[in-house]
Amino acid sequence: MRKWTKTSEFYVAIIILVLFAAIGSQNGAFFSSANMFDLIRSSIVPGIFVICTMMVIISGGIDVSFPAIATFSMFSATKIILMLDFDVPVFAAFLLAGIIGLGLGLINGLLIAFFKLPTLIVTLGTSSMFSGFLLTFVGSRQISNLPAPLEQFGKTQVIKFTTDAGITVGLPMSVLITAAVVILVAIMMKYTMIGRGIYTLGGDPVSAERIGFNTRFLQCFVYGFVGFLAGIAGMIQTTMMRSSNPVDLLGTELLIIAAVVLGGVRITGGHGTVTGALLGLLLIVTIQNSLILVGIPSYWQRFVIGALILIGTGVAAYQIKRSSAKQSSILT
Amino acid sequence: MPKALIELNHINKSFAGVHALKDVSLRIEYGEVHCLAGENGCGKSTLIKVMSGVHAPDHGEIRIDGQLRSGLNPIEAINSGIQVIYQDFSIFPNLTVAENIALNGELAARKKWINWSKMRQTAKQALDKVGVDLDLNAKVEHLSVADKQLIAISRALMHEAKLIVMDEPTTALTQKEVRALFRVIEGLKRDGISILFVSHKLEEVFELSERITIMRNGKNVISERADQLNREKLVYYMTGRQIDESYYEIGKQSGTPLLRTDNLSLKGCFEHISLSIHPGEIVGLTGLLGSGRTELAEALFGLTPATSGEIFRDGEPVSIRSVQDAETHGIAYVPEDRLTEGLFLEQSIERNMVVSVIDEQKDKWGMIDRRKVKSAVRSWIQKLGIAAHSPLAPVKTLSGGNQQRVVLARWLAASPKVLILNGPSVGVDIGSKEDIHQVIRELAGQGLGVLMISDDLPELRQSCNRVLVMKRGRIIGEAEGKSFTQEVWSELHDARDDDAGPVERRGNTA
Amino acid sequence: MTNQAAKRTGPDASYDDPSFSLKRWLSSDGNLTRLFVIMVVVFVTMTVLSPRTFLTLDSFSSMAFQFPVLGILSLAMMLTMVSGGIDLSIVGIANLTSILAAMVMVRLVPEGASAGTSFMYMLLGIVCAIIAGVLCGLLNGFAVAKIGIPPILVTLGSMQLFMGLAIVITKGQAIVGLPEQFSSIGNGSHIGIPVPLIIFALCVAAVYVLLNRRPYGMKLQLLGSNPTASRYGGINNTVVLLKTYALSGLLASIAGLVMIALTNSAKADYGTSYILQAILVVVLGGVNPNGGFGKIAGVVMAVLTLQFLSSGLNALHVGNFFKDFIWGIVLILVMVINAVSPRLKWKRRAAGSSKTSS
């Protein structure tokens, strides 16, 4: 572990600290508990998404369909529960959304594993399919009258206190779900055969098969599991917004991928950690939420994020190029 | 008949209509070193994959320890003690050394959880068995080819292997590393482990094996004790034709050399290289992997330009900073790794042939002149005797020898004055090898200067009029071509041990 | 136009016979054949389903105005995909450059300028947009070829960058009130042919010549199938990639100009759904996402097919969301068929004859 200073996570952490110091020195409100809680709250749903994206990219693929899956799962699960017309417990609602997500994720997985189709294109296609189906056949109007248990879950706070300024800040229950997912996936990637299998799949899929991994199963697992998590994340979004909006999360996929890549997860597969992915997300969320605190208008956000992606990946690419002059990889 | 470690009887296998294995049988006894020989594409690799459970045979039976095994899968094969080391080692560049060695065994034991300290322990033991010391936590992507192979062997030794199959293990190794590998193999044999050694290099086949099975065109031709065979017989069985041995000699050269370098250096790769190539010469260049020979060739071709020193073409100083510069000065390069550096596998033979001269095929509107392209392609196919159905077929449908001819044709089309060949016969069958050597001699006869980089001593001996030896980035000796034997090579290479340059051996480059 | 492009690729099908044979051409490329059949089937189906609305001059004329923007963007996407990359920034470039053009035309032009002066400013705006498009493309190309960042990441970042810049310039507002002369590009016709269609046809012809007739095109395809081999083969990868991304930027800026001429306003987030649609068209058109292969005829047929489908569904009063659904299904189906058909072909061949190829 003597080489931890050479990891990309280390560099991202430094950038975040510098950014924190810079923003904090300009505006003390940045370090207020209200703002910090705000950052965490903004990371609850994207937190699960970056974990999903990280797993897929490590396995050597890319998935742009998770917002569609999340939206599909949460909206149809909410509809089903409303139709049932009795108080379904919260965990059952999450489970239902998860199972719907699992099913949709498996469609991705099966197409990728059995027809060997390029992952980006498959998930582009299914993304369009899922959201098209949802908006055409399930419904396109926001549901504001959530079932009571979900409404209740959304209102329950884990931590809640009133600051000196008299502002009440708190974190919703769902932060625990995200934390659990993060820990679970971190353990899975490091300490289980499936987790290591995902790394081997991204490193060299042919060899993975030769040493005895069932690569088709692994791919189906990755996309199915990611679908499941996306469903859960969708349900969290519903409880946090106190409404189920069928177009809510669409369009966030590229930003999430950007976060994961900034966190040092290599787009070519096989490399990346949960810590890195979370750090990448923290960087993006900070820019989105806090640039305005130092007087940079919010319409600069996109520009800054774009520049950050180019500089971040540029530095990484330059390092790789220097360490192995022979390697020429212009392919994604 | 007593039971054998593994028996394959009457195996048939087809892929997408191609009959890769036709009624092939193979029998490996306990504790023997068995060699499977045959030219590229004869079905050796397919047979291995059948043996290791990756491919199921269409017909035929597999017996391990006398037991009939139908529906063998990779995990079962591993559990029966069969371990395959593929040509690419099946190693994961993104994982650590420990994980690469130990993961396979853990997986075969159907473990669900990973115990890192136990994995490191097992990996350490496995490395000790082979007698090497590597950083267990290092990621494999930064290691040299030889180290990767040692990892693959260590991995195979885990899990009580009874049979280790090595698919062309020496392709990427230097002679020194090959010797080390052979010592490892002898040690394994002493431990009672059977080895199936797959190769098409005759020297290795004879040196190592007790029994030899020869395949040709998806059938097995013969299975015989090694002492019952000799070189001529082996070549005959492998190719169906005889070979002759002759030498390339030309008189002492004077006058302006075609290519001359003066104190050429590339930081960290080679230094003070002064060599000259005259018209009609075929100059061999050899040295261990990492001696700087490939870097020198790539510097002369402008891929990684030299940092100091001078290059003269026909006596004129020239600057070669890019491949385009090299082309302008009539220097051509046939790279080492044909499949990744030489060919566009999916593209047509035609395109593969004209890539270096596309800009010369323009008509007055600046468009590609199809008729010009076609007539050029047709004439090269004829001149080099390339066996192809159509010039529009993807080049990957050709055999190794024909593919190498396509790469050669590409550069000959640019009518170069100096031709640099890096491993011209690696992965090429014996028949094509002879043909390629013949073409090179003819070209030299027409006044071309050739620099041939090779590891293959017989090839250097037969084709070159003189041979240069490189070590740690410097040229340390020179010998006459026809007298360049194993002894001469060792003498040249080992004599000046203390005098070698300060350039460090670089692990990940050839 | 499709057929002409197709005919010119004819000699590829047989080496020694220079004459063109439709049968040979169709059988030489299963994907184009399938695409042609799909296009005809979609067309006929839509005609049968709603003959009064789909099969009318009005409907065709509106189609001819609608698809060129997506068509031109698809050409840009195609070039980068043939190089083995991808360009997610095309819509960003289109919006940024068209905003620049709109600013020149609307803000820079002096108050009460004569028709002549305002025409000059219009030309200036167009030139600015095109130069900016090429520069944006060169930035992408530089990051891909010189720094070595994977294209998907480069253009993911530059998409944000360009769109971000457009938002910064306009503060998120739309620029309206483009000169009438300019809007006529988007809404007018020349000898009965809608101007956007003419622009699209010119782009197709130019890209066809570049890809299939100029050495650049062959270099691009070779680079796309193996960048290492192309470097060893004497191709200057950097130059080819720079040209490719610059061309992509150029085409994107043309698409942007057509887009603002159609809508008579420019805004930073117009047409973001075009990115995915362009990828859809290109993949549907048989371009290999891993690089190296792609035919213009395929891309043109794919964009026409989607337009027929889209207009046909409109005639049936089907919502946009349902179209998304259908597009997703079509994309997946075509890819599955493309993946499965070579295997089937091999099986048929194996059954037909026992000859093995060496």
Report the number of distinct structural domains present in chain A: 1
Instruction: Taking residues B191-208, report their average pLDDT.
Output: 82
Residue to substitute from A121, A138, A301, interface C, most C β-carbons within 10 A = A121
Question: What is the pLDDT confidence band of residue C2, given thresholds at 50, 70 and 90?
Answer: very low
Task: Give Cα separations from C177 to C97, C132, C183, C260 (angstroms).
Answer: 17, 22, 9, 11
pLDDT in tens, A179-229: 999 999 999 999 999 999 999 999 999 889 888 889 999 999 999 999 999
Mean pLDDT of chain B: 83
Asked whether C298 and C31 are in contact (CB, 8 A), the reply is yes
- Tokens standing for residue C111: 């108050």
Report CB contact under 8 Å: A62, C152: yes
> What pLDDT sits at residue C258?
94
Percent of chain B exceeding pLDDT 90 equals 19
Alpha carbons A250 and A67: distance in angstroms, whole number: 5
Question: What percent of chain A is modeled with pLDDT above 90?
Answer: 48
Q: Which residue has the higher pLDDT, C24 or B258?
A: B258
Distance between CA atoms of residues A199 and A207, nearest Å: 12
* Chain B residues whose beta carbon lies within 8 Å of the beta carbon of residue C11: 370
The predicted model gives C159-182 an average pLDDT of 89
**Chain A residue with minimum CA distance to C323:** A132
Whole-number pLDDT of residue A129? 93
Tell me which chain A residues have a C-beta less than 8 angstroms from the C-beta of C227.
328-331
Any residues with CB less than 8 A from the CB of B61 and at least 6 apart, and which?
B7, B8, B9, B10, B68, B70
Q: Which residues of A touch B108 (CB under 8 A)?
A: 212
Q: Is the pLDDT score of A331 beyond 50? A: no
Nearest to B74 among A202, A203, A210 (CB): A210
pLDDT 10s digits, C313-326: 888 888 888 888 98
Percentage of the residues of chain C whose pLDDT score is greater than 90: 45
Average pLDDT of A126-146? 90
Q: Establish if A121 touches chain C: CB-CB under 8 angstroms.
A: yes
Mean pLDDT of the A235-249 span: 88
Residue B434 predicted with pLDDT over 90: no
In angstroms, what is the C-alpha Rg of chain A?
Answer: 20
CATH code: domain B6-239 is: 3.40.50.300
pLDDT of C108 over the 70 cut? yes
Whether residue C230 and residue B358 make contact (CB cut-off 8 A), yes or no, is no
Instruction: Return the pLDDT at B175.
Output: 66
Write out the residue range of the structural domain in which residue A136 sits: 27-320
Contact assignment for B340 to C12 by CB distance below 8 Å: no
State the CB neighbour count (10 A cutoff) for residue A145.
11
Fold: same for B6-239 and B258-330+457-505:
yes
Q: Which of residues 173-232 of C touch A (CB under 8 A)?
A: 227-228, 231
- Per the structure block, which two tokens stand in for C306? 């989607």
pLDDT at position A212, please?
A: 82
Residue C116 has pLDDT above 90, yes or no: no
- CATH number reported for the structural domain that contains residue A131 in this entry: 1.10.3470
Q: What is the pLDDT of residue C40?
A: 92
Reading the block at residue B383, the tokens are: 């001149």
The answer on pLDDT for B285 being more than 90 is yes
Residue A181 in domain: yes
Q: Chain A: nearest CA to C225, how far in angstroms?
A: 10
Residues of chain B with Cβ-Cβ distance to C347 below 8 Å are 16-17
- Closest CB to A203: pick one of B95, B104, B112: B95
Q: Is B265 on the interface with C (CB under 8 A)?
A: no
Question: B293: which 2 tokens?
Answer: 């020979």
On the question of pLDDT at C99 being above 90, the answer is yes
Residue B497 has pLDDT above 80, yes or no: no
Mean pLDDT value across residues C217-225: 94
pLDDT in the model for residue B168: 80
Q: Supply B249's token pair.
A: 């000699």
Across the interface, of C149, C228, C279, the residue whose CB is closest to A121 is: C279
Question: For the domain bounded by C31-43+53-337, which CATH number is listed?
Answer: 1.10.3470
**What is the domain partition of chain C in residue ranges?**
31-43+53-337
Selection from A227-236, A291-300, B498-507 with the highest mean pLDDT:
A227-236
Question: Residues 255-274, chain A: which have Cβ within 8 Å of C?
Answer: 257-258, 261, 267-268
A3 lies in some domain: no
Taking 80 as the threshold, does the pLDDT of residue B231 lie above it? no
Chain A hits for B161, CB-CB cut-off 8 Å, are none
Alpha helices in chain A (DSSP H): 8-26, 33-58, 66-84, 90-115, 119-133, 148-155, 174-191, 193-203, 205-210, 215-241, 253-262, 274-290, 301-323
Residue A326 forms part of a structural domain: no
Q: Which two tokens stand for residue A239?
A: 């409880």
Interchain CB contacts (distance < 8 Å): A and C: 183
Query: Across the interface, do B509 and A192 touch by the CB < 8 Å criterion?
Result: no
User: Quick one: average pLDDT of C176-199?
Assistant: 85
Residues in chain C with CB shorter than 8 Å from the CB of B410 are 233
The alpha-carbon radius of gyration of chain C (Å, integer) is 21
Q: Which residue of B has its CA nearest to C343?
A: B16
Q: Which residue has the higher pLDDT, B352 or B504?
A: B352
Question: What is the reported pLDDT for B503?
Answer: 40
Q: CB distance from C205 to chain B under 8 Å?
A: no
Ordered alpha helix ranges (H), B6-86: 44-51, 74-79
Looking at residue B339, what is its pLDDT? 81
Distance CA A48, CA A62 (A): 16
Question: Residue B157: pLDDT above 70?
Answer: yes
Instruction: Assess C350–B contact: CB distance below 8 Å, yes or no.
Output: yes
Residues of A in contact with C309 (CB under 8 A): none
Domain presence at residue A14: no
Q: Report pLDDT digits (tens) over B405-428.
A: 898 898 888 889 999 999 887 767
Q: Residue B428 and residue B339: Cα distance in Å, rounded?
A: 12
Contacts within 8 Å (CB) and 24+ apart, C201-206? C201/C1, C203/C71, C203/C72, C203/C75, C203/C251, C203/C254, C204/C1, C204/C5, C204/C71, C204/C75, C204/C296, C204/C300
Domain ranges of chain B: 6-239, 258-330+457-505
In this prediction, residue C344 carries a pLDDT of 59
- Is B493's pLDDT higher than 80? no
Q: What is the pLDDT of residue C13?
A: 40
Return d(Cα A42, Cα A45) in angstroms, integer: 7
The answer to whether residue B364 scores a pLDDT higher than 90 is: no
Instruction: Please say whether the structural domain B258-330+457-505 has been given the CATH code 3.40.50.300.
Output: yes
pLDDT of residue B509 exceeding 50? no
Helix or strand holding residue B55 (H, E): none
Statement: the pTM of the whole predicted model exceeds 0.80: yes
Among B245, B236, B242, B202, which residue's Cα sits nearest to residue B216? B236
Contacts of C283 in chain A (CB under 8 A): 121
Q: What is the mean pLDDT of residues C338-350?
A: 62
Nearest residue on chain B to C18, alpha-carbon basis: B371
